[in-house]
Amino acid sequence: MRITTHSFFLLTLFTCLSFIANAQNKFTISGRVSEADTGEDLIGVTIYTSDQANGTMTNTYGFYSLTLPEGDYQILFSFIGYQTQTISISLTSNQQINVELGNADTKLNEVVVKAEKKDENLSATKMGVEKLDMKDVGKLPVLFGERDVLKTIQLLPGISTVSEGGNGFSVRGGSIDQNLILLDEAPVYSASHLMGFFSVFNPDAIKGMTVYKGGIPANYGGRAASVLDITMRDGNSKNFSASGGIGLISSRLTLEGPIVEDKVSFIVSGRRSYADIAAKSAGIIESGADLYFYDLNAKLNYKINDKNRLFLSGYFGLDDFGFEDMGMNWGNTTGTLRWNHLFSNKLFFNATFIYSNYNYGFNFGDKGSMSSGIKDYGLKLDFTLYANANNTMKFGSDDTYHNFYPGEFLFEENTIPDIKVAKKQALENSIYFTNTQKINSKLTADYGIRLSFFEQLGEGYNTTYNDNNQIIDQEYFAKGKIMQTYFEPEPRVSLNYRMNTKSSVKASYNRMAQYMHMLSNSTSGQPTDTWMPSTSNVRPTTVDQYSIGYFRNFNDNTFKFSIESYYKNMNDITDYKDGTEVMLNEDIESYILQGKGRSYGAEFYLKKKYGKLTGWLSYTLSKTENQIDGINQGNWYNSAYDKTHDISIVASYQLSKRVSLSTNWVYYTGNAVTFPSGKYEFDNNQIPYFTERNGYRMPDYHRLDLNLHLEGKGTKRFNSSWDFSLYNAYNQMNAYSINFRESVDEPGSTEAVKLSLFGIVPSITWNFKF
Amino acid sequence: MIYKTYITILFASILLLSFTSCEEIIDIDLNSSNPSIVIDGDIQPKQNAQVRLSYTNDYFNKENPKYETNATITISNSEGISETLQHISDGLYTSQFMRGDVGQEYTIKVDLNNETFEGKSTMMTPTKILKLSQVKSGTPHQGDKESYGLEMQLTNNPEEDNYYLIKFFKNGALQEERYNAIPQDIFAQDEVIVYSPVLPSFEVGDEVIVKAYSIDESTYTYYSQLAEITSERPGGTTPYNPESNLGPNILGYFRAWSSDSQSITIQTME
């Protein structure tokens, strides 16, 4: 049934589009843009005519297509950090032009490089979007010398840190489970190592990423707040190379190269931490203890011919922690197989098979063991039609089958019954269509719709509960039977009005639906978080977001400035009744409370992209509140993700050709938290008395980090560099948590205790490449 | 539940082992709230019922709380016998005739300023601590000191839906070091059960008094919630007031329970 809906939809589109595509006396240039040294596809390269009247960009696979009227043109290919190439063509027929761009750093003093098309940020309709190249991430100072993409995006406006060191982040007031994190199109359910202090993304294996916090295009869906789309590198298709680094916490090694030159290439990148080895030798932990993580990224790409390419990529990661016979481990596995196909020079197609698995386990020695997880199988079909110079259309489908394993606890002792929470299954199907249309020289629009269907499938029970969480009715569904369905239309619109050569105004609206809910008793994210589907008792979360922004460039593009403001209505966000046992609770649905939320704010962003001094300044002023019946007497209260002020300053200064200094400073309002407004005596103890949800604030947080990067002299074959970092350079003891307890020394009196995790943390890393 | 304790320990240990965390007592401004009534009542076998009525206090106030002396409190058992409690002093009311009896369900009713609060609790079969011994602890520790856990054998009535609460008092302290609420689904329905908690752990020389309470399901839930909000868990749940059996949004609890106690001095073990 669903298949026929899909086919019909796609067929109709084809028919409509073929009319648009048949324009007269117009020809198409198309091809791929890659890096000259490695053959890596370049994403987001701007391709435009010398008069800047027409232009396009390469997609995730380096492909572009540009249709122009017959005539003579100078076509420019430009990308930040690379030399711009100009190609003169006489367009009298369709042409295929593949371009390789040389790295600007390696060929100094040749040409003055203008890194990208002027005012790119002004002409694109996209707002609430930030692209990060790994070069931007690389020079920033980070904790224990580990570069981390998730830490870097938290320095952008509208994206805030949830807890110190942690990788859980909140986008425009959304909760951490509302972020869709994709690694080569596969969803990553738990993006952290070591309890959230490191992200699972090995920077050496990553090409770049794009984060969408507003105006989210219709080809993405499934989460309510944001999309973080991370692309893995394809591997050097020209030469074998190895790179790596040795740091205090972990070491990493990447091998890449061609298997068949310019046809088949691979990359394998591994990382392992050895905090446990250091801690053992220092006598901090016993020899029986384990504490480490590792991860492995691998990708194979095969250029079958100009029209067909295959990519196979995988990620495997594991954290292991244990002492004596007890322990825990958790990890993600993802895999994607992609097939790129060019139906014509205007129609690009990609099919993706997706596998994603996350699980964690506890081992309690002779007492028992526990495990939980989620597994997805997905198929995505994506078409891009470069219809003409004024219209680029994307359409396709996205189908995912989810298996939820809420968990089981197996007791070693046979006399104790095991706890097994019933598995759940669900199917998520979406179809989408979106068009980017240049309406006139000043106005561009991006409009589309995503239709999402959700089905919870048997085997299982639809259970009806009374107010005391007791079962009053149960209906059984056999395997594969539909237990519950939901449907949401998700319209997405973005407009860009170009006021003049220096400034533009943009506006957008998007609706997002989320059919999966994270079960967690912390706001910051833990490996023990589990997922559940929407059910007959738990409705999907939907969000409507409106935003408007003003963009301006200064000093011939050296500075970019933007102000964006947004308003979000959130429906059916979830929380729990007081005292809810989240883990291994068969009846968790009856403990879930749903209500509404609202978030609004303004984001200021000033970025300097060129020169010796680069970096950005971001400031976000926002408010996020929730109203859920059953919490805070049904009154509105500050969300745990409410941060009034959030400031980041990021700067990098190139002292000489080989030495650069970088720094970042962050300041934000403390999280909204629940503290006691009184105490009482019970059973000879002093018990805190709580009156208001999230009525207090943690102390404001601020921190300065520094990094000195030294590039080795290097030879043609071997390059090395050093990074010296200071995390929390002025040793600010920021509060990780504040606990209230009865004084140990003075029973009967009470005290507040602040726990801080990190003072100043120096680190050193040595990197190499040959 | 019991696995939660394990997980808490694992998390705490990871934080402890991984990072140089630092604790500091700080000054913090907390709001005052209107005083709310707190009902703390219990009845034990062969003893009079006791109910203390007090009011909430500012969090950092070091003075004794205000006590309520003008309430009318009655207690009744499942046989329909009831008695009005007498106010003794400082908000403490006791029964004169009614004493706890195993198997009875007790109801207390507190009438105060035209409001009535009512709660029930059942006195389960008392448990006896048959044996209390020390075992090497599985928890990680810093430095050279060995840490030890306790293992106890408790009598159990397999016919009952019963729960236990274990309190640990260290070196003569009046406040418990910690208490563990044990749900019935983790022990076998045998006449003797063995319980060996991961926490608390002790060092050589510690004198530990262990009190084992036999409790009903609702009391177990209340004490589990109390343990959750009073324990220090980094990144833990949003705190709340535990759910009383005396009505919604009421502070305090009434329980019928019994206890047995034993002590042990931790010694070096090979």
Same domain, B154 and B199: yes
Same domain, B46 and B64: yes
Percent of chain B with pLDDT over 90: 60
Contact call for A733 and B22, based on CB within 8 A: yes
Cα-atom radius of gyration of chain A, to the nearest Å? 27
Residues of the domain holding A203: 129-228
The domain tally of chain B equals 2
pLDDT tops 70 at residue A3: no
Same domain, A580 and A655: yes
Same domain, A69 and A99: yes
Q: Which chain A residues are Cβ-neighbours of B65 within 8 angstroms? A: 680-681
- Predicted pLDDT at A118: 55
Chain B closest-CA separation from residue A319 CA (Å): 12
Tokens of A107: 């060929």
Contact call for B175 and A684, based on CB within 8 A: yes
- Predicted pLDDT at A108: 36
With H, G, I as helix, E, B as strand and everything else as coil, classify residue A512.
strand
Same domain, B133 and B227: yes
Same domain, B140 and B206: yes
- Predicted pLDDT at B146: 76
Paired strand residues for A484: A456
- Predicted pLDDT at A250: 84
Q: Which chain A residues are Cβ-neighbours of B189 within 8 angstroms? A: 415
Same domain, B66 and B142: no
As a three-state string, the secondary structure of A350-372 is: EEEEEEEEEEEEEEECCCEEEEE
Q: Which chain B residues are Cβ-neighbours of A526 within 8 angstroms? A: 11, 235
Contact call for A680 and B65, based on CB within 8 A: yes
pLDDT tens, position by position, B240-263: 999 999 998 899 999 999 999 999
Same domain, B150 and B207: yes
Under 8 Å CB pairs connecting chains A and B tally to: 216
pLDDT tops 60 at residue B18: no
B259 or B185: whose pLDDT is higher?
A: B259
Same domain, B135 and B261: yes
A180 or A168: whose pLDDT is higher?
A: A180
Same domain, A705 and A761: yes
Mean pLDDT to the nearest integer, A336-356? 95
Burial A346-365 (b: 16+ CB within 10 A, else e): bbbbbebbbebbbbbbbbbb
Q: Which chain A residues are Cβ-neighbours of B30 within 8 angstroms? A: 675-677, 696
pLDDT tens, position by position, B208-231: 999 999 999 999 999 988 988 887
Whether residue A394 lies inside any domain: the answer is: yes
Which residue in A682, A692, A760 has the most chain B C-beta atoms within 10 A of its own C-beta, making it the best mutation to test that interface?
Answer: A682
Mean pLDDT to the nearest integer, A751-755? 89
Contact call for A579 and B32, based on CB within 8 A: no
Mean pLDDT to the nearest integer, A521-534? 81
Mean pLDDT to the nearest integer, A670-691? 93
Whether residue B16 lies inside any domain: the answer is: no
Contact call for A326 and B186, based on CB within 8 A: no
Whether residue B28 lies inside any domain: the answer is: no
- Predicted pLDDT at A119: 61
A476 or A121: whose pLDDT is higher?
A: A476
Same domain, B62 and B107: yes
**Taking Cα atoms as reference points, which of B213, B182, B255, B16 lies closest to residue A284?**
B16
Element spanning B241, H or E? none
What span, in angstroms and rounded, lies between the C-alpha atoms of A433 and A438? 17
- Predicted pLDDT at A417: 75
CB A675 within 8 Å of CB A667? no
Same domain, B110 and B148: no
pLDDT tens, position by position, A29-46: 999 999 888 888 998 888
Same domain, A701 and A660: yes
pLDDT tops 80 at residue B137: no
Which residue in A689, A727, A737, A753 has the most chain B C-beta atoms within 10 A of its own C-beta, making it the best mutation to test that interface?
Answer: A689
CB burial class (10 A; 0-12, 13-18, 19+) of residue A615? buried
A61: CATH: 2.60.40.1120
pLDDT tops 70 at residue A66: yes
- Predicted pLDDT at A127: 76
Residues of the domain holding B100: 37-122
pLDDT tops 80 at residue B54: yes
Same domain, A155 and A113: no
B134: CATH: 2.60.40.10
The domain tally of chain A equals 3
Whether residue A123 lies inside any domain: the answer is: no
Percent of chain A with pLDDT over 70: 89
Contact call for B28 and A752, based on CB within 8 A: yes
pLDDT tens, position by position, A213-224: 998 999 999 999
- Predicted pLDDT at A8: 52
- Predicted pLDDT at A109: 33
Contact call for B230 and A741, based on CB within 8 A: yes
Q: Which chain B residues are Cβ-neighbours of A738 within 8 angstroms? A: 26, 28
A147: CATH: 2.170.130.10
Identify the closest residue of chain A to B242 by CA–CA distance.
A579
Which residue in B25, B28, B184, B224 has the most chain A C-beta atoms within 10 A of its own C-beta, making it the best mutation to test that interface?
Answer: B28
Of the residues B59, B94, B122, the one at which a domain ends: B122
Q: Is the ipTM of this complex over 0.85?
A: yes
Q: Which of A327, A364, A750 sits opposite B59 (nearest CB)?
A: A750
- Predicted pLDDT at A335: 96
- Predicted pLDDT at A698: 93
With H, G, I as helix, E, B as strand and everything else as coil, classify residue A72.
strand
CB A189 within 8 Å of CB A358? yes
Order of all β-strands in the sheet with A750-756: A737-742, A750-756, B22-26
Chain A closest-CA separation from residue B30 CA (Å): 6
Of the residues A117, A147, A165, the one at which a domain ends: A117
With H, G, I as helix, E, B as strand and everything else as coil, classify residue A97.
coil
What span, in angstroms and rounded, lies between the C-alpha atoms of A8 and A139? 49
Contact call for A367 and B6, based on CB within 8 A: yes
Cis preceding-peptide flag for B200 (omega within 30 of 0): yes
Mean pLDDT to the nearest integer, A384-397? 92
Mean pLDDT score of chain A: 87
pLDDT tops 90 at residue B238: no
A118 or A398: whose pLDDT is higher?
A: A398
Tokens of B33: 């709230």
CB A145 within 8 Å of CB A129? no
Q: Which of B38, B140, B221 sits opposite A323 (nearest CB)?
A: B140
pLDDT classification of A111: cutoffs 50, 70, 90: very low
pLDDT classification of A501: cutoffs 50, 70, 90: confident
Least confident residue range of A269-283, A752-766, B153-167: A269-283
Tokens of A283: 């006598």
pLDDT tens, position by position, A120-155: 666 666 777 888 777 767 667 666 667 788 888 999
Chain A closest-CA separation from residue B114 CA (Å): 23
Of the residues B122, B143, B164, the one at which a domain ends: B122
With H, G, I as helix, E, B as strand and everything else as coil, classify residue A234.
coil
Which residue in A193, A468, A526, A578 has the most chain B C-beta atoms within 10 A of its own C-beta, making it the best mutation to test that interface?
Answer: A578
DSSP conformation letters of A665-718: EEEEPPPEE---SEEEEETTEEEEE--STT-EEPPPEEEEEEEEEEE----SS-
Least confident residue range of A167-176, B67-76, B116-125, B226-235: B226-235
Residue A577 Cα to chain centre, angstroms: 30
pLDDT tops 80 at residue A751: yes
- Predicted pLDDT at A17: 52
Which residue in B30, B64, B66, B182 has the most chain A C-beta atoms within 10 A of its own C-beta, making it the best mutation to test that interface?
Answer: B30
pLDDT classification of B178: cutoffs 50, 70, 90: confident
pLDDT classification of A278: cutoffs 50, 70, 90: low
A44 or B82: whose pLDDT is higher?
A: B82
Q: Which chain A residues are Cβ-neighbours of B217 within 8 angstroms? A: none
pLDDT tens, position by position, A182-203: 999 999 998 888 766 778 888 8
Q: Which chain A residues are Cβ-neighbours of B253 within 8 angstroms? A: 682
